[in-house]
Structure 1
């Protein structure tokens, strides 16, 4: 199977994939994985390619159709199951404490009640299971608006409790690393690694990456080097938290 992180899409997904791959590869067994809002399978299909069973819950039938086709093309159709649903109605379509790993990527920022939605996501995990959470970062949005010359919008995002830059902002919520790890802790998950995602790639002109020899690989290496450094979390477009649900008590 081809590398899902190459070439251009790597700038958006490589850091998360590297962390996630290490987490599921190191398990030493076949895992039951849930991908909430997994869409067309950007992560689900590669995870299935590692030998794991993946259930994708997504509200879009078109995305699930594309997922089915993509899984078949990758030769992992038997290990990928798509079902229509959403996080708030999660237990209408999957069981509680049924999964070893749950992915919640690009979902939390669009929920009316992020804490309640995250609570459902964590409730789908077995005790001791792994949560992979990816959500929109506040600092990256402020920086992007400022660099685009929208200084008032940048200030509004900076001051707004939800990190929004105005009524036309398509993202309902953005988070700092501290806010995201606090949400995770409140949901019963111990946050481990926190990574900044797309620290530089959204700010670099695309023509430079596409035309300059070696630029893409160099930028990928730079993103990987900066991702785990806390000083760059404040300017990342997205934040990724890998955590472990509290084990069951005797």
Structure 2
């Protein structure tokens, strides 16, 4: 659902910019499941990822989808992002599932912001939400861990928590503003999907469709954003 919306948004941005194609950056894009779909629309995509194996899989995926001439893989991470990807070059930047694993989220987001064009550059940021972790731990009967996630500055439920940082919607928008980005919209992602037993939707097409509709309608409601497993922030680079 989110990926499909982004593809539509990328196409609209290209038309608004008066160019036949966008320069897109997918930081932490891995094997290119989203990047190759964007390239299939005719856009040029640079994928930055620290894993050589993921970049090899990206190259193979792009070739299989006849998009090899529009997809470029570069090894790196947010620490050297500007050096390996370029400054002020991209119309649209995807940063999904990256910020929560960086040592310094503000510095990482600042680097991502620097890669956007100064005029009209748009960021799609997807990061782990605090509320979803609190709710999931509580429903599992792990009340001490739920309280820890609720009160911890990084939203972690304990020392063995594999996610270094989680965010609230307010924290994400504040981070964006601090690095020169103007937030446009925030949506909750996986509000219910991680809580619904798989048996209820795995074999019921109608149930899955109904869940998808429910997720879409709840995504923009602040009360449900606060319990979402992930938060999606759309922002643009502020004018200098």
Question: How would you bin the TM-score normalised by the shorter chain?
Answer: over 0.9
Give the superposed CA RMSD.
1.0
Deviations 1:111-157 (A, max 9, x none): 10000000000000011200110000000000000111111100010
- Which consecutive segments of 4 or more residues in structure 1 shift more than 4 A? none
User: For residue 191 of structure 1, what is the aligned residue in structure 2?
Assistant: 183
How far did 1:92 drift?
A: 2.7
**Counterparts in 2 of 1:59-208, with a 5 A limit?**
59-127=50-118, 128-208=120-200
User: For residue 25 of structure 1, what is the aligned residue in structure 2?
Assistant: 11
Q: Distance in 2 between matches of 1:115 and 1:59?
A: 19
Q: Distance in 2 between matches of 1:22 and 1:80?
A: 19
Q: Distance in 2 between matches of 1:150 and 1:243?
A: 35
Tell me if structure 1 keeps the 8 A contact 2:82–2:114: no
How far did 1:94 drift?
A: 1.6
- TM-score, structure 2 normalization: 0.95
Structure 1 residues 47, 60: CA separation in 2 closer, same or farther (over 3 Å shift)?
same
User: For residue 51 of structure 1, what is the aligned residue in structure 2?
Assistant: 42
Q: Distance in 1 between matches of 2:106 and 2:31?
A: 25
Tell me if structure 1 keeps the 8 A contact 2:62–2:68: yes
Unaligned runs of 5+ residues in structure 1 are 1-13
Q: Distance in 2 between matches of 1:17 and 1:137?
A: 18
How far did 1:247 drift?
A: 2.6
How far did 1:90 drift?
A: 0.9
Unaligned runs of 5+ residues in structure 2 are none
